[in-house]
Amino acid sequence: MDIRDKVQIDAIKDREEYSICEYGTHVLIYNGTYGVYVPEEILMLNPKRYEKNEDLAKLNPYDVVDETRSATIIKESITFSGEIANAVIDFGREKTWIWQSAIKKFGKRRMYGVADVHMEGEEKKIVVVMDAEGNDLELDIQNGKVIKKNYVGRHIQNYDSMLVLSHFKGHPMGGFGGALKQLSIGVASSSDKGKDHLIERIESRHSNHIIDAAANLKFGTKDYELINIDNI
């Protein structure tokens, strides 16, 4: 069952636990721990029966998509107010937290991201499930000899373009290989069975520590500035 249907059923069963915010074409259904954007055409519940949460107005789905950075759930957890939360790290090595109850609801194999939003008078980080809208997107590979289909996260449809940064490898074909690898990993399907193996290899070989050590030795930096190229 689609996660959007599951959350709607939960909200219908326990109306007092959920609040909503309407954005025209979508409704955000929120229970204080996680929320789901539901398009009006598949909305089952009646928004008029739920408390309106004006604090959620800053979470317009289109704005959140623009601000979201890819992130990974790591094996680090804390207990807060009797509940367990897992660490989530984005590519800037900034850490935030997501309740384990939310992970269980959405699943570990989802594509997670982090976005900075202004809510309740302060800046906050939220964890975004980038492929919560159902199954992966299937793309045809034209003239593919071995691989005929490519499965990517469905939210790729929300973007007009992608900027790919690839390092030079020293031989002509390497440049193309690096660009293709970046694209493949960056938009890979969350249901790809190889994802867990890749993460295990990264963690078991202390890749994160290698990046930290390289930065300490002045071989590059982990600090960078994100620039909105739409305004350039």
pLDDT at 134 over 60: no
Determine the pLDDT at residue 12.
92
pTM of the prediction?
0.55
Cα gap 127→204, rounded to integer Å: 25
Residue 51's φ and ψ, nearest 5 degrees, are -65, 135
Determine the pLDDT at residue 168.
58
Tokens of 197: 């193996």
Determine the pLDDT at residue 34.
80
Q: Which of 158, 153, 159, 145 is nearest to 129 (CA)?
A: 153
Q: Where are the domains of the chain?
A: 3-60, 64-129, 137-222
Q: In this predicted model, which residue has the larger pLDDT, 72 or 174?
A: 72
* pLDDT tens profile 137-185: 778 888 888 878 877 776 677 667 777 776 655 555 445 556 666 676 6
Task: Find all residues with CB under 8 Å of 139, minimum gap 6, and list them.
Answer: 149, 150, 151, 152
Residues 213/222, Cβ–Cβ less than 8 Å: no
pLDDT at 18 over 50: yes
* pLDDT tens profile 94-130: 778 888 888 888 777 677 777 777 666 677 777 777 6
